Chains A and B, each alone.
Chain A
Amino acid sequence: MKRFFILTCFIMMFVFTGISTNAEETISYPFDSVTITSAYKFNVEINEIPNESSFLNGHVEAGEMVTIYVGQLKYMYDGAEVLASESIIIVTNEAGTDIARWLINSYTVTENGFNAYYSSHITIDPTVGVVKTVDDNAYSAGIIEENSVYQFVDNQDTAYQMVDGSFVVEDNLNIVISAYEGVE
């Protein structure tokens, strides 16, 4: 009986050690780097002071030129792609201040182009990855492309037409940004 008990203690010791080791090994992160694969930009002119409910209000003056940057992102983990076709919008005023840096929320292909909407409630948490939270006060902004003509749309659905000749695109980029050092 005692032998059996000692044997059980031995077995339990190995079992506990095994479970603990496995628990450590399951710690993982969904991505460890982000790659910018392409990007484009265009300018829009803000003709009037935006509505008070617009996220642009207080950041731009009437007649100011705002630059819209969009980057296509690829999330990688251990050299493998985990999230593709992601993108980010950066809305920058003439002073160079970023008014918005939001990740994509929805993308729709239309007959002659696409609609892409970005939202402030989608963020990056280095411990989790891309995080989509519920936030009733979240702002959104959109890009509407139709026959290679781009429009920027604020959270009040006010559309701003692309300034002619301002569109620039850079394809085939491979800019790797390390998110953090992985746990060893």
Chain B
Amino acid sequence: MKKILFCLLFMGFLLTSCDEIEENQSSKTDDTEQQTAITGEDILNVIASEIKNIFK
């Protein structure tokens, strides 16, 4: 009985770890997508056009 309980606990531990790894990987993928969506050049473009528009 104790052996079964131990096996179940160990399996639970492994599954929890796997879930965490998967979550981290999907989180990193989302981050990359967001990071590549807007570049620093895009931000500079917007800032520059806003400043130039002030004087139009």
Q: What residue of chain A has the Cβ atom nearest to residue B21's Cβ? A: A20
Tally B residues with Cβ within 8 Å of A.
Answer: 32
Decide if B51 touches A177 in the complex (CB within 8 Å).
Answer: no
Q: Which residues of B contact A (CB under 8 A)?
A: 2, 5-6, 9-10, 12-13, 16-17, 20, 23-24, 27, 30-31, 34-35, 37-40, 43-48, 50-52, 54-55
Sample of 14 further A-B pairs with CB below 8 A, known A9-B9, A69-B52: A6-B5, A16-B13, A16-B17, A17-B20, A39-B54, A41-B55, A71-B47, A71-B51, A90-B51, A124-B43, A126-B39, A168-B55, A180-B35, A180-B37
Q: Which residues of A contact B (CB under 8 A)?
A: 2, 5-6, 9-10, 12-13, 16-17, 20, 23-24, 27, 34, 36, 39, 41, 69, 71, 73, 88, 90, 92, 98, 101, 123-127, 131, 168, 170, 173, 175, 177, 179-181, 183
